[in-house]
Structure 1
């Protein structure tokens, strides 16, 4: 896992020009724990691929996470983008704004892996990314 994280961080740094952070702690948790950390009921229908805890600087992955699954690997890369953002003290206008770069890099990485439609693979549209990354009053 350490070599995978190092590879992804190096790729993120090459794309962004930001500084290299220390590796974040990685925690493998149950679906219930993932839902609790996200603040969503487990039966909400939301399938959590990974989470980044900005306060802890830690990534949470489901226990069933597989290093050979391209979608799951891209979710790890997405969360590592958040770790790089945090470690570089990026100051954006709201928490949601951090998502745009993370999704853009996740999509770019998936295309480099040969995925023709990365949006379909991760289950989000360009509009969905916009909606998740736009600052709203009080966010």
Structure 2
């Protein structure tokens, strides 16, 4: 997984103005849909009914646990699959945003989503892969609203 993370960070370096050289690497955990759902809803209010499995949640970046953050990826695809790689890239974009202090400039954490979704689409296009998110620009806007 380390080689894949390194390659994706180089891709981010080539496609953004972020500093990625020598940044601390996050821990990467490949987990079940149930485990990922649990992590995603961990900070939800106790009055909120948390689903056992939320099939919409495919990956998550948690900057606050582990020394340099944790990326959780659902184990439904193998690491060589381009869609797995795009999910990892998306979360690495959040990690790079965090390490570079962008999170302090956002009105809310969701503002970093637009860039992560747009870069993910660019990555898939450059890889010659079909984008499963047909109207990515629309969803990038929706998911980045505060």
User: What interval of TM-score do these two structures reach, taking the shorter chain for normalisation?
Assistant: 0.7 to 0.9
1:113 matched residue in structure 2: 127
Find the aligned partners of 1:114 and 1:37 in 2 and give their Cα distance: 32
Aligned partners of 2:28 and 2:51: how far apart in 1?
Answer: 22
Do the aligned partners of 1:103 and 1:129 also contact (CA within 8 Å) in 2? yes
1:72 deviation in Å?
Answer: 1.3
- Residue 71 of structure 2 aligns to a residue whose secondary structure is strand
**Mapped partners of 2:85, 2:34: distance in 1:** 21
1-structure distance, mates of 2:39, 2:109: 16
Distance in 1 of aligned mates of 2:86 and 2:18: 19
Greater share of helix: 1
Question: How far apart are residue 123 of structure 1 and its match?
Answer: 6.1
Whole-Å separation in 2 of the counterparts to 1:124 and 1:30: 27
Is residue 19 of structure 2 the alignment partner of residue 19 of structure 1?
A: yes
What is the aligned partner in structure 1 of residue 143 from structure 2? 132
Secondary structure of 1:42's aligned partner:
coil
1:42 aligns with 2:52: yes
Query: How do 1:79-94 and structure 2 match up within 5 A?
Result: 79-90=91-102, 91-94=105-108
How far apart are 1:43 and its partner, in Å? 4.1
Which ranges in structure 1 are unaligned for 5 or more consecutive residues?
Answer: none
